[in-house]
Amino acid sequence: MQTRLNLVSPLVAFAATIMITGCAQEKSIQPIPVGEMVEYRDPGFGFHLKHPKDWIRSAEIGRARIYSSQDVDKKFLDPTGAYPNGALIAVDITRTPNPMEEQQKQIDEMKAIGMVVAPAESVTVAGESATRVPYTARYSATVEIRGEHIFLTQDSLLYDIGFAGFGDLYPAHRMVFEAAINSFQLPKPVEKGRDETLPSETFSDYDTKFFSFQYPDNFNFATQPKGKSDLVLGLRGVRLDCNIIFDVFGAQGLTAAKVFDQNKGKYRGASTGKTSVGGEESLYLTYSATKDVERRIYFVVKNDKAIRIIMDWYKPHRDEYLSAYDNVIKSIKLK
């Protein structure tokens, strides 16, 4: 059974047991608008939800922490420390033979460490029945965390979706938290007999300041070195050798054909082709990157920005990958 990671550390939990009375007198904060959201998709369990684009993400399989700004993670570990106040979106998954017992155990633990736990409420998340448990944890006369846990059970899994903030930052982020929970989706059941490593037939949307596009929803975002580029965006399939990478850099007045000519010499033996990306002329080349992996690279120019799109696929499933990648290319809208 996976160990649950609380929003507060064991040390802080101990501090909560010696809470003092009195209300935190924090300055009232205006409601914070939702703004642009991006999607996080768990690489193992497959759940996904959206969060504000500029929030700081720390995640691993079955566990996600998304903080409103830098160093807020330290504040949640040490609430009375000299770190910035902020807000948090969290997801934990616990595998257990009895999810309802585990849910009650976690609620009892919250009470045992001194949190003020409000009565549970029935809510609906991703079309499923769930339980919302609001709480308050006070650490001094001026420091308190307000938040909620939303528990959702699926077979032998307990999902714990948490939202929290210091003082008034919790209600101030109410619209953000609502947008996040409304975006939460459970993984889709795997089609019987279908290879799970193939690109999904369901696509998700993504938007950047240079273009928007759709991608198979079982591809996950992967950090890529930016270097001198304006934008580098990477997506990785279930197979780690199957990727989509967008690289945006200055075209310096060159057309797509000229950018292509400058780069094609790096790829000897590649076949070439011509198509359209986002309504603009695009040239591409295809070659074998490794023994089992093929690669195609597209070049397109819009508003003096060159966009290079690199797509890798597993050779034995060439047709399936190219069908999905073709849909990605067709979905691109340049700005």
Q: In what order do the strands lie in the sheet with 203-207?
A: 203-207, 211-216, 333-334
Q: How far is CA 277 from CA 112, 217, 247, 295, 299, in A?
A: 58, 21, 14, 17, 9
Stretch(es) of the chain classified as CATH 3.40.1000.10:
10-183, 203-334
pLDDT of residue 28: 57
Domain 10-183 CATH (choose: 3.40.1000.10, 3.40.50.300, 1.10.3720.10, 3.40.50.970):
3.40.1000.10
Task: State both tokens at 1.
Answer: 């059974």
Nearest by Cα to 271 from 285, 258, 260, 261: 285
* pTM, 2 dp: 0.60
pLDDT of residue 191: 62
Nearest by Cα to 59 from 330, 234, 51, 27: 51
Q: β-pairing, 144-154 with 157-166? A: antiparallel
pLDDT of residue 15: 40
End-to-end CA distance of the chain, in Å? 47
- Is residue 213 within 8 A of residue 332, CB to CB? The reply is yes
Task: State both tokens at 62.
Answer: 């079955």
pLDDT along the chain (335 residues), means of 10: 40 38 51 91 84 92 94 96 96 95 96 95 96 96 96 95 96 97 85 79 89 91 87 92 96 95 88 95 95 96 96 95 96 96
Task: State both tokens at 256.
Answer: 């797509």
Query: What is the DSSP track for 227-263?
Result: TT-SEEEEEE-SSTT-EEEEEEEE-TT--HHHHHHHH
Q: Which class is domain 203-334?
A: alpha beta
pLDDT of residue 208: 92
